[in-house]
Chains A and B, each alone.
Chain A
Amino acid sequence: MVWLFAILALGTVALILAVLYRPLGDYMAWVYTSRKDWKVERGLYRVIGVDPKTEQTWQAYLRGVLAFSAVGLLLVYGLQRLQQWLPYSLGLPAPSEPLSFNTAASFVGNTNWQSYAPETTLGYTVQFAGLAVQNFVSAAVGIAVAIALVRGFAYRRSGTIGNFWVDLVRGTLRILLPVAVVGAIVLLAGGVIQNFNGFTEITTLTGGSQSIPGGPTASQEVIKLLGTNGGGFFNANSSHPFENPAPWTNIVEILLMLMIPFSLPRTFGRIVGDKRQGYAILAVMGVLFVASFSILTALESAGMGTAPRLAGGALEGKEQRFGIIGSTLFATTSTGTSTGAVNSMHDSYTALGGMIPMLNMMLGEVAPGGVGSGLYGILVIAVIAVFIAGLLIGRTPEYLGKKIGPREIKLASLYILVMPTLVLTGVALSFASPGVREEVENTSILNPGPHGLSEVLYAFTSAANNNGSGFAGLTADTPWLNTTLGLAILLGRFVPIVFVLALAGSLAAQDKVPSTAGTLPTHRPLFVGLLTTVTVMVTALTFFPVLTLGPLAEGLL
């Protein structure tokens, strides 16, 4: 029965995504290639002072990304530090400096790691004027960078890769905002709250008292999912009944997370002029997603481990209305994309079950990945895959008519190395640095034994991949973790973007080489298999040792 319901739930999601794939993918391709600017957009460009008709070199494009994100970082940091003077702050003081830095980095970096409990830390103004804005624009930045890379493949002998400001404005106004408004109305109908009431004091049926929270939740909930951000309005995130009230809203939220990442391969196929290339990428994403969901559902349903066995099922940290399947489908979605929202507590999953969300992130979040970041992530791995295939058959590797030379391989390799370096260094320093180790063990870690290591490993994996979910028992509001996780977020977001845009510039400058009998076709099942294997191999080789110390030790011993 479990499997019947699992297949029906997954089938519903897959069916709706399949219906959306072509229209949404084609629409997004039009958004980023159309020559016409809307009237309101022209007004915007005039105010911010850019000429939408001028394309930028990759360096200028990158400067735009970095400057815009730096301004966002300062704004969100500043808003938090000034919180006590802002309206609708519910009487809350400013968060500490390390915490404000961590939160600012986290929301600008499309991560939404939360070292804090929102109910008792942030008032409404910081949430809607600071965080929700970043939920939109950090997502638009991600899609923009992916589109720039796609243009690199599509352009010939071009010194430019598009205009960052145009991509940013169009992604926000033409894609994210309209879907967000519709999505918010659907969630409102389902019971998600949207008010400025503060806390409502009520007397319960037994005469006790309860403070029912308020807040502009729906407006933030929808974009946190659509933009694969993940930062909850409440501490319990999407397991809070005011964020996710019913099994059907759970499916709506899953669809919001998946619709853009799973449709971007179509956009890619359209822009490079070969839709079959999009289907190949989609197939890799789909295979990895379904495999991950199946394994996680099997592990959580089996409920291995002392506590789940005693309880008769792995329901600690899961909501009754979602059950196991509603929880595992959400967890797979949230960590396969870069969302990091949770509707169940991953820290309380079975030992091996809890490893699956970690693995989804360690894959580099490409199944299907965050908005934009998933597509550019998998295209970089595709570059590596054609290179490996080229070595095997002794041909010069090429992808979509572009030669993959030393410069391209160097950039792709550097991209691949950033995330594991950040994760493993962060975990190692947390346990090897004298002074820090005591704080991590005594203050931060909640669960004893190998599970404690898993909490820290999960945190750095989540930060460096810009996911934002956590083994939430970890107390991350310490100067060490706030600072290092904040840095891991910023480096994990922007260093790879430097390499992606450099790669885009390098590809755009090339002419297309005609395909010959020796060219590896990149739209066939053979390539789908190769790309899937390379994605899994890179991860397995990098992270297997540390996983044996955490979840594998806990689950198998």
Chain B
Amino acid sequence: MNTSTRSTGRTTWVAVRAMALFTVLLGIVYTLTITGIAQLAFPAQANGSIVRDGDSQVGSALIGQSFADGDGVPLPEYFQPRPSAAGDGYDAGASSGSNYGPENPDLIAAIEDRRAQVAEFNGVPEDQVPPDAVTASSSGLDPHISPEYATIQVARVATARDLPIETVRDLLAAHTQGRDLGYLGEPRVNVLEVNLALDELER
């Protein structure tokens, strides 16, 4: 065995031991340490920001969900979320965007359909339908809609629930979140939280 083969062999043996040590330290010790800190200091967040309605878990404050009936028809008494490309829609086990490009004919057709559907469903003219109402998000699990999209839904929700428009509007205002620190990100409405508040109103 010549010198260079020997030193390559020696280097490889060093590499194996180093990788084993790093796997224990960075793979196991580090992961468990962070998990420990998480479960002690931030249990609610670390376990998925689960939202409860009484005793039952009804979702996660961070994960959007569908507000349609079993056949996928949107329920008029709930604020509706954005279109979703995750599985059949808001499948939390299959996060995904549509990945359709700007000239994709399927996307163009889908946007036209959604615009017509949203306008009709809410009884507003098509030019009042904001962009987030007709586009699928990146994760397919976007928990938020824009205040504009929420606003055009107020009258329809109020009618379906037999509530005064003012009540629904006030509730929406209370659940509208501004930009972080006043300038980061976009204003938004958490759809699950506002819908849960609506249900609670009627009890």
Given contacts A202-B57, A306-B102, contact A117 B94 (CB under 8 A): yes
- Say how far A511's CB is from chain B's closest CB, in angstroms: 28
Whether the pair B8, A48 counts as a contact (CB closer than 8 A) is: no
- Say how far A417's CB is from chain B's closest CB, in angstroms: 27
Measured CA separation A92–B201 after assembly (Å): 43
B172-188 Cβ-contact flags toward A at 8 Å (1 or 0): 00000001110111101
A188-225 Cβ-contact flags toward B at 8 Å (1 or 0): 11111111110110111110101111101011100000
Measured CA separation A251–B180 after assembly (Å): 10
- A235 neighbours in B (Cβ, 8 Å): 94-96
B91-130 residues with Cβ-Cβ distance < 8 A to A are 91-105, 107-108, 111-112, 115, 129-130
A105 at the A/B interface (Cβ < 8 Å)?
no
- A38 neighbours in B (Cβ, 8 Å): none
B119-146 residues with Cβ-Cβ distance < 8 A to A are 129-132, 134-146
Closest to A470 in B: B99
- Say how far B37's CB is from chain A's closest CB, in angstroms: 6
Measured CA separation A197–B61 after assembly (Å): 17
- B152 neighbours in A (Cβ, 8 Å): none
- Choose among A307, A320, A449 the residue that contacts B144 (Cβ–Cβ < 8 A): A320
Whether the pair B48, A236 counts as a contact (CB closer than 8 A) is: no
- B157 neighbours in A (Cβ, 8 Å): none
- B115 neighbours in A (Cβ, 8 Å): 310-311
Binds B, one of A340-348, A366-374, A388-396, A404-412: A340-348
Measured CA separation A328–B142 after assembly (Å): 18
Whether the pair B57, A315 counts as a contact (CB closer than 8 A) is: no
A219-250 Cβ-contact flags toward B at 8 Å (1 or 0): 11000000000000011100111100111101
Whether the pair B186, A320 counts as a contact (CB closer than 8 A) is: yes
Q: How many residues of B contact A (CB 8 A)?
A: 103
Closest to B149 in A: A320
A136 at the A/B interface (Cβ < 8 Å)?
yes
B199 at the A/B interface (Cβ < 8 Å)?
yes
A478 at the A/B interface (Cβ < 8 Å)?
no
- B45 neighbours in A (Cβ, 8 Å): 188-193
- A202 neighbours in B (Cβ, 8 Å): 50, 56-60
- A310 neighbours in B (Cβ, 8 Å): 108, 111-112, 115, 134
Whether the pair B104, A448 counts as a contact (CB closer than 8 A) is: yes
- A44 neighbours in B (Cβ, 8 Å): 21
Whether the pair B67, A205 counts as a contact (CB closer than 8 A) is: yes
A290 at the A/B interface (Cβ < 8 Å)?
no
- B153 neighbours in A (Cβ, 8 Å): none
Whether the pair A63, B8 counts as a contact (CB closer than 8 A) is: yes
Whether the pair A68, B93 counts as a contact (CB closer than 8 A) is: no
- Choose among A195, A210, A242, A347 the residue that contacts B101 (Cβ–Cβ < 8 A): A347
A70 at the A/B interface (Cβ < 8 Å)?
yes
Whether the pair A554, B103 counts as a contact (CB closer than 8 A) is: yes
Closest to B94 in A: A119
Measured CA separation A165–B19 after assembly (Å): 11
Whether the pair B138, A67 counts as a contact (CB closer than 8 A) is: no
A552 at the A/B interface (Cβ < 8 Å)?
no
- Say how far A161's CB is from chain B's closest CB, in angstroms: 16
- Choose among B93, B102, B139, B142 the residue that contacts A307 (Cβ–Cβ < 8 A): B102
Closest to B13 in A: A49
- Say how far A198's CB is from chain B's closest CB, in angstroms: 11
Whether the pair A239, B97 counts as a contact (CB closer than 8 A) is: yes
- Say how far A231's CB is from chain B's closest CB, in angstroms: 14
Given contacts A194-B38, A241-B62, A241-B142, contact A212 B21 (CB under 8 A): no
Whether the pair A165, B93 counts as a contact (CB closer than 8 A) is: no
Measured CA separation A354–B129 after assembly (Å): 26
- Choose among A172, A200, A314, A316 the residue that contacts B22 (Cβ–Cβ < 8 A): A172
Measured CA separation A246–B61 after assembly (Å): 12
Measured CA separation A389–B94 after assembly (Å): 53
- Choose among B34, B78, B101 the residue that contacts A219 (Cβ–Cβ < 8 A): B34
- Say how far A531's CB is from chain B's closest CB, in angstroms: 33
For the A-B complex with A195-B48, A218-B46 known, give 20 more contacts whose Cβ atoms are closer than 8 Å.
A63-B7, A172-B26, A185-B41, A188-B37, A188-B42, A190-B45, A194-B35, A195-B47, A204-B65, A205-B195, A247-B184, A247-B186, A310-B108, A315-B131, A317-B98, A319-B142, A321-B188, A347-B100, A354-B101, A446-B101
Q: Which residues of A contact B (CB under 8 A)?
A: 4-5, 8-9, 12, 44, 47-50, 60, 63-64, 67-68, 70-72, 75, 117, 119-120, 128-130, 132-133, 136-137, 165, 168-169, 172, 177, 180-181, 184-185, 188-197, 199-200, 202-206, 208, 210-214, 216, 218-220, 234-236, 239-242, 245-248, 250-251, 304-308, 310-323, 326-327, 342-345, 347-351, 354, 446-449, 451, 454, 471-473, 554
Contacts A/B (CB < 8 Å), 25 sampled: A5-B179, A8-B183, A71-B16, A71-B18, A133-B23, A165-B14, A177-B26, A188-B46, A205-B192, A212-B63, A213-B48, A218-B46, A220-B31, A236-B86, A240-B95, A246-B180, A248-B184, A319-B137, A319-B144, A320-B146, A326-B184, A344-B97, A351-B102, A447-B101, A471-B99
Q: Which residues of B contact A (CB under 8 A)?
A: 7-8, 11-19, 21-23, 26-28, 30-31, 33-35, 37-39, 41-42, 45-50, 53, 56-70, 75, 78, 82, 86, 90-105, 107-108, 111-112, 115, 129-132, 134-146, 179-181, 183-186, 188, 192, 195-196, 199
The 7 closest A-B pairs by CB, nearest first: A247-B185, A305-B102, A473-B99, A239-B138, A323-B186, A313-B131, A236-B95
